[in-house]
Amino acid sequence: MVLVHGSAGGLDSWDPIVPLLRDRYELWTYARRGYAPSDSDVGLKTFGDDVTDLHAVLTAAGGTAHVVGASYGATVVLHAGLSLPGIRSLVVFEPPVFSAGPALAGALGRYRALLDAGDLLGAARLLAVEVARVPAPVLPAITAPPQPEAIGCLHDLEAMTVDTTDIARWSGITVPTLLLQGSDTWPPMPDTMEALAAALPSAARTVLPGQSHFATHTAPDLFASALAEFLRKHD
């Protein structure tokens, strides 16, 4: 199983999940392009770059694997599901596909300026409000990330800005897919997951009760159980 982390993540993103699955699966995690200890000086990044890197990990893992993505990592997984061979199944947890395209160009410019000024907290909260659409009551939980993670977020935002919000394109995915979400994640994620389900009518769906976009850390047991239940059907 290959695990693809989200924005502001890294090699430790899946730490709560890994101990719950490693007895059943060979697990591969990696730092995506732009995130330390991978190279952070990557130029303008696209989702095509992320898919190329995931292909390299799949090849290293033997050429075939179940692939799990969370948040931005779930968008990477969707892109990969359209083109990469060797994917046995996909698990897609709350991809922010509602935020994409030229409408993000202003946010990208402001984020880059805050990063250049050393305002990591301001940059993180801009990303939370203008890209992830985090509601005001959640904002106090957003803290300044380390510099390497902030740079990784910049490259993720670059890729999102040259992507599109076209959800219908994911109907081209043919491998078994689980759409996974928290019951309490803020709008527009619930509508986004409904739209994904409409584009992928044969996909399985699981809702984690009482959880939000942070379920990998707030309810790792629930998250891992949902993965295991789905993957048992496709091993």
pTM of the model: 0.97
Q: DSSP secondary-structure letter at 30?
A: -
Is residue 202 very low, low, confident or very high in pLDDT (cuts 50, 70, 90)?
A: very high
Q: Is the preceding peptide bond at 140 cis, omega within 30 degrees of 0?
A: no
pLDDT band at 213; cut points 50, 70, 90: very high
pLDDT score recorded for residue 41: 77
pLDDT digits (tens, 9 = 90+) for 12-56: 999 999 999 999 999 999 999 999 899 877 889 999 999 999 999
Is the distance from CB of 78 to CB of 91 less than 8 angstroms? no
Domain extents in the chain = 2-99+165-232, 102-159
Question: Considering only CA atoms, which of 40, 43, 90, 101 is closest in space to residue 67?
Answer: 90
What is 2-99+165-232's CATH topology?
Rossmann fold (3.40.50)
* Residue 39, Ramachandran bin (φ over 0: left; ψ between -120 and 50: alpha; else beta): beta
More confident residue, 162 or 43: 162
pLDDT at 97: 98
What digits encode the pLDDT tens for the residues 122-140? Answer: 999 999 999 999 999 999 9
Residue 80 has pLDDT above 80, yes or no: yes
Residue 147 near residue 168, CB atoms below 8 Å: no
The mean predicted confidence, pLDDT, of the chain is 96
| Tokens coding 17 | 């999940």
| pLDDT of 234 | 85
Q: Counting Cβ atoms within 10 Å, is residue 189 exposed (0-12), middle (13-18) or buried (19+)? A: buried
Pairing of strands 204-208, 177-182: parallel
Q: What is the mean pLDDT of residues 150-177?
A: 97
Q: What is the pLDDT of residue 48?
A: 97
Q: Per-residue pLDDT tens for 84-120? A: 999 999 999 999 999 999 999 999 999 999 999 999 9
Q: What is the pLDDT of residue 40?
A: 78
